Amino acid sequence: MPSTVSGLLLFVALMLPGFAYLVVKERAGTERRTSPFRETAAVVAASVASELVASLASAVLWIRFIDVKRLISSPGAYWRAEPLILALWGVGLLALATIIAAAAAWPWLRKHMPGSYPHSSTVSAWWMIFEEFDPTSVKHVGCELDDGSYIEGRLVSFNNNAEDAENRDLVLKEPIKLRPAGKMRETIPYGAHVVCVSARRIVTMFVTYSDPDNCDPPTFPGTEVAEEAAVADIEAHPSNPLASGPSVLP
């Protein structure tokens, strides 16, 4: 580890490409909880690899202005003699390496490379359903909850945690339909723009993929829209959440 402030700053700067790689990978892929050692190793490996590629790719340009032998034999004296050239060279290489590292984690580029990204062993079932099977389609999601009720809507976002944990949320937007728990089998429109459903409450999930140009909500089996009389009967029931207006689902 560096023992001086300048050495520490240089070390942090050299790790910038690896940090960019990690940030892009987390934002564009799944969120994984890894050990500090593994995360540090990934940052160091990405930094070294991208800086090596950047140095080789731009060698034709910078070798005309940089005296490599002098830089290796007496870097201190060379720096004092040519600070501007060396500073521009270092910043340029670091910027190029950062761009290369970030591009290496970009989903569009990774999809055109051999192998699957992210690997199926590192993603959750939600990620496979919403991102891998048909990534460009509009997703209509129906969720059967643990109390027997049912809710459906159009997918807005989902938690990208790589673990199939209970502490996740699913956000759906209108048209939202609800079927309260009980004997009724039909769904009724619910007057809300968005709804957040906890994974802890979901028992079964149904997903339908639609063309973005024709994304009318599908009719899931057994969830036909209720008749006006049935709607009026449900809204008048004291235990029905629709009787008192919009509310937050537990």
| pLDDT, tens digit (0-9, with 9 covering 90-100), for 135-182 | 788 999 999 998 889 999 999 988 877 777 778 889 999 889 998 887
How does pLDDT run across 1-18, given as a tens digit for each residue? 566 777 778 788 889 998
Q: What are phi and psi of 142, to 5 degrees?
A: -120, 130
What pLDDT does residue 10 have?
Answer: 79
Cβ atoms of residues 214 and 137 within 8 Å? no
What pLDDT does residue 40 have?
Answer: 85
Q: Which residue has the tokens 């055109």?
A: 112
Nearby residues of 75 by Cβ (< 8 Å), 6 or more positions away: none
Could you tell me the residue ranges of all domains in the chain? 5-111, 123-244
What pLDDT does residue 89 have?
Answer: 87
Q: Specify which residues 171 forms β-bridges with.
A: 157, 196
Q: Specify which residues 195 forms β-bridges with.
A: 172
More confident residue, 114 or 131: 131
- Tally helices (H) and strands (E) across the chain: 10, 6
CATH class of the domain at 123-244? mainly beta
Q: What are phi and psi of 6, to 5 degrees?
A: -65, -40
User: Exposed, middle or buried: residue 140 (CB in 10 Å: 0-12, 13-18, 19+)?
Assistant: buried
Torsion angle of the four alpha carbons 83, 85, 89, 90, in this order, in degrees rounded to the nearest 10: 0
Give the Cβ contact number of residue 54 at 10 Å.
21
Cα dihedral sign, 217-218-219-220: negative
For the whole model, what pTM was predicted? 0.56
Give the Cβ contact number of residue 85 at 10 Å.
15
SS3 assignment, position 211: strand
SS3 assignment, position 97: helix
SS3 assignment, position 50: helix
What pLDDT does residue 71 have?
Answer: 80
Q: What is the average pLDDT across 107-113?
A: 67
Look at 14-23, 92-101, 213-222, 231-240 and tell me which has the smallest mean pLDDT.
Answer: 231-240
* Confidence band, pLDDT 50/70/90 cuts, at residue 247: very low
Q: Examine the pLDDT at 236 and tell me if it is beyond 60.
A: no
Q: Examine the pLDDT at 216 and tell me if it is beyond 70.
A: no
Question: Strand 150-158 and strand 194-198: pairing?
Answer: unpaired
DSSP string, 122-171: GS-HHHIIIIIS-TTSEEEEEEEETTS-EEEEEEEEE--BSS--SS-EEE
